[in-house]
Amino acid sequence: MAVIILGMTNGCSDVQSAKEAKDAKEASNTQAAVTNSRFTIAPEEYSQLSEKALNHFASLDYAAWGEMLADDVVYTFPDGDVNTRTKLEGKKAVLAWWENWAKTSGIQSMTLSEFNHFPLDVTAQPQGGAPKGIYDFAYASNKMVYGGKSVSLRMNMVTHFNADKKIDRYVTYYDRSVIIKAAGKNVLEK
């Protein structure tokens, strides 16, 4: 008799926990959408444009990448804070710097993969001089080869789009030390 009661108790416990899980799932599906007065989710199209541009960049196809950039683009490196970071300003300057880097850095190849995108339309004025508008916050794995040395790292890239869907801002965050070690130099030092 004790075995039957024990079996019934365990059976009730499993049924009860399954019902609780189902009730919790249904409750989460009916919760009100979370909102934020500073931003809304932007269309997926911007994630696709961002990834396309980053893949042109990674393949060192600066002509195709340049077609996606606004004339007033600003590219920001991850070497300081909002006031001290190295910045390239204007499409001509950005493309010239990266074309020179491709010729002089020893880079042999670069491949971006495992993208995660978060497109947002920022409606409240951000701090630090960043503009309102549509951003794609992305992070990806980057595998680079310098002089036969493989370097792998995760990179965060924030892309801002102007009204013409051209990229007018890049803000990058990644650990430059592994690149400096593989390349044997810090390309941002004078």
State the amino acid at position 97 in one-letter form: W
Tens digit of pLDDT for each residue in 6-55?
343 444 445 556 667 666 666 555 566 778 888 999 999 999 999 999 99
Tens digit of pLDDT for each residue in 80-136?
787 878 899 999 999 999 999 999 988 999 999 999 999 999 999 888 888 999 999
Segment holding 170, helix H or strand E = strand 167-173
Q: In whole angstroms, what is the distance from residue 79 CA to residue 73 CA?
A: 18
Antiparallel, parallel or unpaired: β 39-41 and 107-122: antiparallel
**Cα distances (Å, whole numbers) of residue 185 to 72, 98, 126, 152, 175:** 29, 16, 34, 17, 14
State the amino acid at position 50 in one-letter form: S
Is pLDDT of 138 > 80? Answer: yes
Tokens representing 132 are 């309102």
CA atoms within 13 A on the CB side of 97: 15
Strand partners, 36: 39
Q: In whole angstroms, what is the distance from residue 135 CA to residue 94 CA?
A: 19
What is the model's pLDDT at position 23?
Answer: 64
pLDDT band at 78 (very low <50, low <70, confident <90, very high): confident
Segment holding 29, helix H or strand E = helix 2-30
DSSP state of 147: T
pTM: 0.77
pLDDT band at 137 (very low <50, low <70, confident <90, very high): very high
